[in-house]
Amino acid sequence: MAKLKWSFSNSRLFKKCQRQWFYKNHFQKWQAKEGTPEREAYVLSTLQSISAWRGQIVDQTISRNVINGLNKMEQPTLLKSLNYAKYLYDIQLEYALEHNAKQPGMSKSQAGNSFAAFYKIEYEGHMPKEEYEKAWIEIEEALTNFYKMESLKDLLKLANQRIPQRSLIFDYSDTNVIAMPDLICFYDNQSPLIVDWKVHAFGVKDYRLQLALYAIALKRCKPHSDFPKLLSSYEDKDVSLLEVQLLTNQQREYTLSMDDIIQTQNYMTESITQMQLAGSENPKKTVPDDYSTTNYPEACLICPYRKLCWEVTCQN
């Protein structure tokens, strides 16, 4: 039997709506035959809100242009980053507005950098111009704020290794735990640093639990070949954690205690147990109707799988 796969984002999704979690993780299949519910679920799984898309472009620009540039001993300028972000913005917006995600045989991997699909277009039929124009203004603002963060830029330049978007996997309670920090920095004479970019208009939420999981994953995963041997000399709580709110121009440093580590482990144990009790220890033998729906109507109204889920509900 395949091991259950668990991540922080999926734990939050499972808590919000078990059926949405099932559609996303175990029901949708990109290779399924056109017209089947599994193929439709794959298409629906690609839908994004405009705010999620905005954040994705900022993440991609920092990872691909700024961090990869630093790794090549280059000094990426704000203008170069804005030009790259505008390139992504333009090609993805065109792809989404032309409804290309609905084309037969579509896959995100084939579309590459061009891919984008919006929830609002799927369910409301259009995307108001003012919404995507505002998204670009906020992308510009987030990247401009990033370049003004001198202390952060110094931390990035000081690192001898900068690794963006690296998957960290470790076994926990007979489950594969998966984490993917936005950025990991390694240094010669100090503990590793994990940076998490956030592109939220308010930025009031505390992400200590998520960042604590990243620290645990960095220490407990099978080290990648480019990880330094020095990593083994540090403990989970030694890893430096930094949340960067790019729209509100704020940075939050987190220092972990053993209580934080224990709390994070307890959270994982509780979440994994709930998934297993719901039948997802072997989800291949379950169907959407085996999973409960959200108790929050507002969550249902922005769920990408709404049309599939409501079809199941109406049939019962």
Residue 140 lies in a domain: yes
Give the pLDDT score at 299.
87
User: Does residue 281 lie within any of the structural domains?
Assistant: no
Residue 282: its pLDDT value, please? 66
Average pLDDT over residues 67-82: 94
Question: Based on the domain organization, do 144 and 179 belong to the same domain?
Answer: no
pLDDT over 80 (residue 271): yes
- Shared domain for 145 and 177, answered yes or no, is no
What's 218's domain CATH number? 3.90.320.10
* Residue 225 sits in the same domain as residue 122: no
Do 126 and 43 sit in the same domain of this protein?
yes
**Same domain as 171, residue 218:** yes
263 within some domain: no
Query: DSSP letters of the chain?
Result: -PPEEE-HHHHHHHHH-HHHHHIIIII--TTSPTTSHHHHHHHHHT-B-HHHHHHHHHHHHIIIIIIHHHHTT----HHHHHHHHHHHHHHHHHHHHTTGGGSTT--HHHHGGG---BHHHHHHS---HHHHHHHHHHHHHHHHHHHH-HHHHHHHHH-SEEEES--EEEEETTEEEEE--SEEEE-SSS--EEEEEE--SS-----HHHHHHHHHHHHHSPPPTTS-GGGGGS-GGGSEEEEEETTTTEEEEE---HHHHHHHHHHHHHHHHHHIIIIITSGGG--GGGSPPPS-HHHHHT-TTHHHHHHHHHH-
Q: Does residue 138 share a domain with residue 54?
A: yes
Q: Are residues 37 and 141 in the same domain?
A: yes
Q: Identify the pLDDT of residue 205.
A: 66
- Based on the fold, state whether residues 103 and 224 are members of the same structural domain: no
Residue 260 lies in a domain: no
Residue 2 has pLDDT above 70, yes or no: no
For the cut 60, the answer to whether the pLDDT of residue 23 exceeds it is yes
* 53 vs 189, more confident: 53
141 and 162 together in one domain: no
Residues 60 and 90 grouped into a single domain:
yes
Domain carrying residue 162 = 154-254
Residues 207 and 250 in one domain: yes
The answer to the question of residue 135 being in a domain is yes
Quick check: 257 pLDDT over 70? yes
The strand pairing partners of 132, in sequence order, are none
pLDDT value at position 101? 86
Does residue 246 lie within any of the structural domains?
yes
Q: What's the pLDDT at 216?
A: 97
Residue 1 counted as domain residue: no
- pLDDT tens for residues 113-144? 999 999 999 999 999 999 999 999 999 999 99
Q: For the chain, what is the domain count?
A: 2
pLDDT at 281 over 60: no
- Residue 117 is assigned to a structural domain of this protein: yes
Report the alpha-carbon distance of residue 289 to residue 132 in Å, rounded: 36
More confident residue, 162 or 202: 162
Across the chain, mean pLDDT equals: 92
Position of tokens 């220490």? Answer: 219
Residue 283 has pLDDT above 80, yes or no: no
Q: Is the torsion defined by CA of 81, 86, 87, 92 positive or negative?
A: positive
pLDDT value of position 203: 53
255 CB neighbour count, 10 Å cutoff: 11
* pLDDT of res. 312: 57
Percent of the chain exceeding pLDDT 70 equals 95
Cα–Cα distance, 43 to 48 (Å, whole number):
11
Kindly report, residue by residue over 163-204, the tens digit of the pLDDT.
Answer: 999 999 999 988 999 999 999 999 998 999 999 999 987 655
Distance between CA atoms of residues 285 and 275, nearest Å? 14
What integer pLDDT is reported at residue 141 of this predicted model?
97
Pair (135, 232) in one structural domain: no
Residue 272: which pLDDT band, with cuts at 50, 70 and 90? very high
What does the pLDDT read at residue 315? 52
